[in-house]
Amino acid sequence: MDKKQEILMITIGTSPQVITELLYYYSHPFYKNIKQFDQVIVFTTSKGKKEIVENLFNRKILQEMQRIIKVKKINFSEKDILVIRDEKGLEIDDTTDTESNLYSMNTIFDTLKKYTHKNTSITAAIAGGRKSMSSMMSLAFQMLAREQDELIHIVAPDSKMYDGKKNNHPDKWYYPNDPSNPLEKITVSCIPTLKIGSYLPISKDGSFEQILHRLQNFIVDLSPLKKITINKNKFTCNNDSFTLQPMYAALLRYFMKKRINASCKNTCNGCVDCFVSFEQIMYASQNEILNEHKEISGESNQHYLLKKERIMQYDPSNCELSEQELGELGLKARNRQDLSRLRKAYDKLPISPKLKDTLLLRGSRIDGVRYIGVTINKETNVSFQK
């Protein structure tokens, strides 16, 4: 197996010490967590870049640290500093409002998306920059990170962090002189996070806002519908509604009532209590399902009377007769035909994926017998008005 490229990504404000602290931690054998990063990418503002260039490169602090800890090469140069830019391509000097934070988010997200391919492993650090920038890195990480990626935070001793805020102080602290000294202790912690984006069937094409919108809609669609109202053969949920032919609506109403009246758990994916076998459907077609049709159409409706005449001619207790001679086989065949037509009509409905998935007929094989039903979440308020 080819070794994955190790990428370190860091958010930075005006404290370049975060960079040296991290590189020191991952390069010094004392911490027993050595990583040779193939690339180090820093997200910052124009002010942050000035501090990094002046201190780490012009003053050669990074080069001196490299010499002290005897590291042959640190793959970080001025070209790896990504400055947040506005819509005109101009560098911004701070991220203090919604607009500048969105610029920051787009830069971080687009870069992270570029590097989250199969040949990389990313370590993302959120110690530097304003809290908003750290939040942006965390959100982008949740949306794009894979199993091998890590989100981390580094903490230096309070006294050394205080020194670091004195931007003009000649003795500003960048890394330990002695890593075993408790007063110079560096701590890196892995931050638990949900890496959800890469594991959901959502296209990663487009901008941050477009992908975020897709992810949000996908997650919302997974939550149970709050209320479904059924008035005869019309089914309504929020702004969604659809109408089925009475004979197909009668079947769907039957499956819905079987589910909501069952005693199984809310999370059940189909059992003998909330689903029905073809044997049960066969008998229900002359009783409960037929009654649902009457409820929808009225007992004097010609379509209902014709359906009743056709369905009641079968003798479900007699399986010796052929389909042409009526009997159980003929009744099963007619019900299979009705179910097939219901599925075809349902597939064509122009309704939201969430509602369509909620009332979708599903099959389940239990103890060798095929059962059919719907998996409405029982937290959903299902109201039959007529």
Shared domain for 39 and 141, answered yes or no, is: yes
CA distance 127 to 174: 14
Domain CATH for 108 = 3.40.50.10770
Question: Which range marks the domain in which residue 42 is found?
Answer: 5-220
pLDDT tens digit at each of 386 positions of the chain: 568 899 999 999 888 999 999 999 999 999 999 999 999 999 999 999 999 999 999 999 999 999 999 988 899 999 999 999 988 888 888 888 888 888 889 999 999 999 998 899 999 999 888 888 889 999 999 999 999 999 999 988 877 765 544 445 556 789 999 999 988 999 999 999 988 877 887 788 888 888 888 888 777 767 778 899 999 999 999 888 999 999 999 999 999 999 999 999 887 889 999 999 999 999 999 999 999 999 999 999 999 999 999 999 888 887 777 666 677 778 888 899 999 999 999 999 998 878 888 899 999 999 999 999 999 888 889 999 98
Shared domain for 210 and 232, answered yes or no, is: no
Shared domain for 216 and 252, answered yes or no, is: no
Asked which of 199, 220, 241 is the last residue of a domain, the reply is 220
Shared domain for 229 and 215, answered yes or no, is: no
Shared domain for 271 and 194, answered yes or no, is: no
Asked which of 161, 187, 220 is the last residue of a domain, the reply is 220
Q: Tell me, what's the pLDDT at 94?
A: 85
> Dmax of the chain from CA atoms?
102
Q: Tell me, what's the pLDDT at 167?
A: 46
Shared domain for 204 and 229, answered yes or no, is: no
Shared domain for 46 and 178, answered yes or no, is: yes
Q: How many domains does the chain have?
A: 2
**3-class DSSP state for residue 307?**
helix
In the chain the first and final C-alpha atoms are separated, in Å, by 64
Q: Which strands sit side by side in the sheet containing 5-11, from one edge to the other?
A: 81-83, 39-44, 5-11, 120-125, 150-155, 187-190
Shared domain for 186 and 245, answered yes or no, is: no
Contacts with 104 (C-beta within 8 Å, 6 or more apart), sequence order: 43, 84, 95, 132, 133, 136
Shared domain for 37 and 165, answered yes or no, is: yes
Shared domain for 215 and 245, answered yes or no, is: no
Shared domain for 73 and 170, answered yes or no, is: yes
Asked which of 220, 245, 277 is the last residue of a domain, the reply is 220
Shared domain for 130 and 85, answered yes or no, is: yes
